[in-house]
Structure 1
């Protein structure tokens, strides 16, 4: 018998147990669904999909700011074993067209803001419908009477990674892989899905927004609150939503957390319900952890990839991991740090992280992640950086996160993104985008690389010194909300500082 990893079947079972429990909230519009209403919406949309010719293996793209429709579409599609392809509305139309063609999408569903893009995609032969159209389909359809298909190794979703070369790359996730990813999260974060309220401020085109804890909590009877990113997202709106809906768990990248804490310090708010702040997508530095603790938050550091359904390692507040550590692997993840393909790294020796497990797309084969790390004498993992981001300057390797952490300790620096630039003499030089702190804004016009390197002479090795900078108001980001090294390199390359 096919294993039962179906999110539609899980949602139906939740409705039988807790039909009137709050299920879905659109924090932008205020619209709400009970579990019973969510199931009815999904069942009606599944019927409409079937009547439109959407069935097993059909690829349906979803483009728009975070909304309940992303999750409703996915679960309705799973009823028929169709495949969801969440895409970022921040991508240009030409890139989205290429991505849809790459995965063989035949339908695109979109929000109102993405209508121009969707019209352009329709010219390539894709069928399209807006979220408003989907609501009308639901209103006019009768609920699906046949039970949802059981789902196991069938393809569930295709998500695009940022790509180390700047070219998004599709990753195929089965229902089984996504289920094991969520199981890792349940045990790693120690939460009960039926009593959790999850906020989604990470883009749903990112694994941390699409699957993570969000799909698990919603389909098993908890409450899911979508917060609009990257459309109407704003820090004050997110803070207000945390207090209003008593959000207990939410994933965010470090840059968003910094913005939320700064807004909290400016205007206050109620963060008391946010007992599981999940931080990932980039290294969580010791200073960020201290900043969060100062406002009453106990950060949970999580490292993962799309290929691991988001679950790689975790450092919980009470595990005893040293500041900035990645912690330990999730319960159902095997992990190695390999100095070479034949040699596992010794304590303190840098190597590439390899993972395998039921929640990893490679299964029992080792997945070479491209992330570099070390283990300390006590076995704790410490992220060094992405292998492709390492800077080779005169034969010395520089890890950008090391320099970024040092820059952030300066009173004049709020944030930094370090990249390598080609150089005829040194091969590469260390360069940085600098976001000045409030104290540093008055000095921004005179800020220069030599002064920053001098200020950090005791913290960085000579080859780690920053040799070129550009001062910006905010760091460029990828469509998934992570700092964008490629865009940073273009900006700093033309700087004269």
Structure 2
């Protein structure tokens, strides 16, 4: 018999075991579904998809703030062996359309926050529908006949991750790979899906929000609470949801943790149910860990990538790993730290993390992650940085070349060099050395952060925008004549010291 990693079939079994359990909560709208109602909605969506011509291999983009519809659509798509492509509504319209075309998306669903992208998607030949159509189909369309299709090596989802060239890179995840990612989380975090309540505040366009514990808990009879509030991140809304729904497990990047603790200090709250706070996407520094412990929350540090379904390493509070350590590999992950000469690095020696396993897209082949780490004398892993120039700001990855290209389109800018600078709140912020063009020299003093943000609105995503700027006569270069990001970082540091 074929292996079965189908989310729809898992949800069907959960509906038979506990039909009346609370299954889905959309915190932004207040909508709720029991397990049986979730499965009925999935069956009706699958029927609506099939009657409208969707089938095996159809790529469906889901563009909106975190919502129940991301998960209902994914399970419905799996019934037909269709493929979901969750995308951030905060990206520029042109970027979204290009990404959709690149991976063959033919259908897209958008919420109100993403409705401004509809024209660009339509111009790209993509059939675009509002979230409200999904609601209507789950109420008025007939359920699909028969049992959900078994799922194994079929493509399940495509998630984009930032590439070092500045072009978002699609990562194809099969149902099998995603299932093994969840299996790693079950053992690594020691949770029972049917009795867990998971909150999703990380964007579902990222692996930390989309797969991980989210799909596992929901499809196996637990409760999933989506936290997709309109506009900017709502720390008070997340704290209230943790208390109201007794959220027991939730993934967050350190910048989100800071915002939650600061809001907790202002207005209080009850975090006692949040027994599995999964922190990743950036280094867990000692001050962030201390902040969490001060409010009664013990962090679980997670390192992973889209290519590993989010599961790479874990450091639980009681494992003995020092604060900030990546901990040890998940149960079904093989990991090496490899020196430049492709031997395993000695203790204290920097090397690149290589991983393999059933939850890794490369499976039995070693995946070269591009992340640099060391092992201490006790064997614990410590992240050093990225092998490339990627900037990690609040868990969002920014490729400097893409920001540099955008800056060079401005008439007043001749050249630019972008680097990431350390920042207590965001981990890193985007900073730019700028050389003014001859025509723009008179305007050089007006090239402030605010003016750049205004000029590039709609071109750069919010997390890509320049937060610090310095005007220079020429860019620093290496001995080979290439722009020197190390020297650029040093110039910013000198400037900070003089202020």
Question: What are the residue-to-residue correspondences of 1:14-25 with 2, within 5 Å?
Answer: 14-25=14-25
Secondary structure in 1 aligned to 2:202? coil
Query: How much has 1:119 moved relative to structure 2?
Result: 2.8
Contact 1:304 1:313 in 2 (8 A): yes
Secondary structure in 2 aligned to 1:355? strand
> Which residue of structure 1 lines up, in the alignment, with residue 481 of structure 2?
none
RMSD of the alignment, in Å? 2.8
TM normalised by structure 2 equals 0.81
Between 2-11 and 156-165, report the one with greater CA deviation.
Answer: 156-165
Query: How much has 1:380 moved relative to structure 2?
Result: 0.2
CA distance in 2, matches of 1:2, 1:432: 50
Contact 2:155 2:175 in 1 (8 A): yes
| Residues 436/100 of structure 1: CA separation in 2 closer, same or farther (3 Å cut) | closer
User: Which structure 1 residue ranges, 5 or more long, are not aligned?
Assistant: 391-399, 405-416, 423-427, 438-469
Contact 1:66 1:230 in 2 (8 A): no
CA distance in 2, matches of 1:231, 1:287: 28
CA distance in 2, matches of 1:212, 1:360: 13
CA distance in 2, matches of 1:232, 1:34: 29
| Residues 64/491 of structure 1: CA separation in 2 closer, same or farther (3 Å cut) | farther
TM normalised by structure 1 equals 0.81
Query: How much has 1:123 moved relative to structure 2?
Result: 2.1
> Which residue of structure 2 lines up, in the alignment, with residue 170 of structure 1?
170
| Residues 483/52 of structure 1: CA separation in 2 closer, same or farther (3 Å cut) | closer
Contact 1:203 1:229 in 2 (8 A): no
> Which residue of structure 2 lines up, in the alignment, with residue 261 of structure 1?
261
Contact 1:201 1:229 in 2 (8 A): no
Question: What are the residue-to-residue correspondences of 1:328-343 with 2, within 5 Å?
Answer: 328-343=328-343
> Which residue of structure 2 lines up, in the alignment, with residue 205 of structure 1?
205
User: Which structure 2 residue ranges, 5 or more long, are not aligned?
Assistant: 405-416, 427-447, 473-491
Q: Are 1:369 and 2:358 an aligned pair?
A: no
Contact 2:372 2:386 in 1 (8 A): yes
Q: Are 1:346 and 2:346 an aligned pair?
A: yes
CA deviation map 1:194-240 (0-9, x unaligned)? 00000000000000000010000000000000011574640000000
Contact 2:280 2:303 in 1 (8 A): yes
Between 48-57 and 126-135, report the one with greater CA deviation.
Answer: 126-135
Work out the number of aligned pairs and report it: 428
Q: Are 1:432 and 2:421 an aligned pair?
A: yes
Query: How much has 1:41 moved relative to structure 2?
Result: 0.4
CA deviation map 1:216-274 (0-9, x unaligned)? 00000000000115746400000000000000000000000011011101110000000
Contact 2:42 2:75 in 1 (8 A): yes
Contact 2:449 2:467 in 1 (8 A): no
Contact 1:308 1:361 in 2 (8 A): yes
> Which residue of structure 2 lines up, in the alignment, with residue 249 of structure 1?
249
| Residues 231/317 of structure 1: CA separation in 2 closer, same or farther (3 Å cut) | same
Contact 1:6 1:149 in 2 (8 A): yes
> Which residue of structure 2 lines up, in the alignment, with residue 442 of structure 1?
none
Secondary structure in 2 aligned to 1:56? coil
